[in-house]
Amino acid sequence: MKRWYRPAASTMALGGALGFIALAITLLSDSPKEAISYLFAGPAMSGLALGNFLEASGRLIIAGVAASLAFRAGSFNLGGEGQALAGGLAAAAVALYFPDLTGILAIVIALGAGIVAGALLGFISGVLRALWNVDEMISSFLIAAAAAPVGEVLLGRVFKDPGSYLIAAPPLPDAFRLPLWWPPSRLGPVVLGAALITIAAAVFFQYTRRGYEWSLNGVNQEFARYGGIRTGMIAIGSLSLSGALYSTAGVAALLDSGQAVQGFTNSLGWDGLAIALIAGNRPELVPLAALAYTWLILGTQAAVLHTGFPYTMAGFVQGVVLLFVTIRLINRHGRERRYA
């Protein structure tokens, strides 16, 4: 099976999405020139904005690697949003029930609890696929859909902050907050963690036997099975690891914000899918895709805040990017079928 992914194709998809968004701004905004200036330059107009841009990119890099890892191994994890939520809530539970933990131990234990929670959700989908051939797209999506109301109950009742009118847990103790490298922005260790995770994923697929087997399974599962590769274990392993990384991004979102508020994962699951598709499921390209994607999102949010542009445009941007990436994938698969 030939690989038709080229970076230029993703660049064209992002460029087409950007042009479409700029056209929408021109038609809908009362001050289109100002809105477009914020779209292109908003994330870098101040040190605060630039630091927050890099911090948000770090979380999305982790989510993008989580999605690309599953894709590369032949699995389709649609449960990223639920896995990120489960990880964040598990970390919040550790912080709320063990507030006396101090130092690096507090963050390590919270992160560990979050990773286990997300990995467990992915593990369930992997086992269902390996033992009963249940489509992981369906099972991961349904499990994530079930996690959302559970999270709402936990935040609204079990962890509820009595002093807040929001659906939220109390603020985290100081020991559970990540240090700031560039105050007053939220830039911190998440960026370093994202870089290390990206390098580890790239090395795994490029230089290890297990990574080769996962990649082969992603290209042709039947061939991999006939070659003696345990495809069921790959489904379990890839979905579990993908869930663990998604939950890592969810924990990062929690520790960065300092409080578990409804919606604190902020579409990490769906954004991770978009970034993985832009990167062609190649972990080494995920950082570039995440930076471009985050710039689009934060640029649109800056246009919304400063020009009175319609608030729903931020969600519109995500949909447009997914649309153009999907068109690119359809064209790619059409060529694969033609030249197979």
Query: Each residue of 161-197: pLDDT tens digit?
Result: 998 889 999 999 999 999 999 999 999 999 999 999 9
Residue 337: predicted pLDDT: 44
Number of other residues whose CB lies within 10 A of the CB of residue 88: 30
Number of other residues whose CB lies within 10 A of the CB of residue 37: 17
Give residues with Cβ within 8 angstroms of 247, minimum separation 6: 83, 84, 86, 87, 88, 90, 114, 115, 117, 118, 119
15-24, 264-273, 319-328 — which is least confidently predicted? 319-328
Type of residue found at 244: A
Closest CA to 145 of 51, 208, 79: 79
Domain residue extents for the chain: 7-339
Token pair recorded at residue 67: 């999605």
pTM: 0.92
Residue 35: predicted pLDDT: 80
Which tops the pLDDT comparison, 14 or 185?
185
Burial class (CB in 10 A: 0-12, 13-18, 19+), 172: buried
Burial class (CB in 10 A: 0-12, 13-18, 19+), 329: middle
Q: In this model, does residue 340 exceed pLDDT 60?
A: no
Distance CA(41)–CA(174), nearest Å, equals 33
Residue pair 111/190 in contact by the 8 Å Cβ criterion: no
Fold of 7-339: ABC transporter involved in vitamin B12 uptake, BtuC (1.10.3470)
Output the average pLDDT for the chain: 89
Distance CA(283)–CA(196), nearest Å, equals 11
Give residues with Cβ within 8 angstroms of 255, minimum separation 6: 91, 107, 110, 172, 176, 177, 178
